[in-house]
Amino acid sequence: MRTLVCVLALCCLTPPALAQNGDAFQAEFRSEASGSIEIGRIGFSDLVRAKADSLGEAELARLATYLRDDLSRALIDSDWHGVATRETVLTVTITDVVPNRPTMNQIQVMDTAHYSAHANGGAALDAELRDADGGLVATFTYAWFNPDSGDGAGYGVWTDTRRAFHAFSTALAESLGAAPMPRS
């Protein structure tokens, strides 16, 4: 049983090898966004859902809130978030996350997990932007997993994941270009 717990802990604390070499933001536009962008559903891939037993369901809700806050700030700062007659909806899927430290659920469930444990964290995300008629405007992909966070001094559970969320949100807002709404 302890061997299984150790293997599960390593799976949740080890970033995917493919995404360790820096960040990778890609945007593919099929048309222009016609107005205000509203943040729709933030969902989780099957991989993240599988990790929920170990990480804890409360952590998934926390991650969705962190991402929604970062997206809201980035879209507001670039004048893409507001009231419009024809809104465009952004839906995001968190496809992978790796915490820097064990979550409270992992500490409670796993005998070997301790908050002093440290790993390189990060996140991978996919997003779609759809117009008011449901037509696809753009798709976005992003992945960043810290290749070297040193000894982890000053790192919380989701430090690298939150950095990835912030970078994704900023890159997405910047990829939209100049907002079509009047600036005040």
- Residue-range domain boundaries for the chain: 23-175
Distance CA(28)–CA(84), nearest Å, equals 23
Task: State mean pLDDT over 136-158.
Answer: 83
Distance CA(167)–CA(25), nearest Å, equals 9
> Taking the CB of residue 50, how many other CB atoms lie within 10 A of it?
14
The architecture that CATH gives domain 23-175 is 3-Layer(aba) Sandwich (3.40)
pLDDT at position 54, please? 84
For 35-64, what is each residue's pLDDT tens digit? Answer: 789 999 999 999 999 988 888 899 899 999
For 92-117, what is each residue's pLDDT tens digit? Answer: 999 999 988 776 666 556 666 555 56
User: How far apart, in Å, are the Cα atoms of 138 and each of 3, 30, 176?
Assistant: 44, 6, 10
Q: Is the pLDDT of residue 154 over 80?
A: no
Beta bridge partners of 39: 90
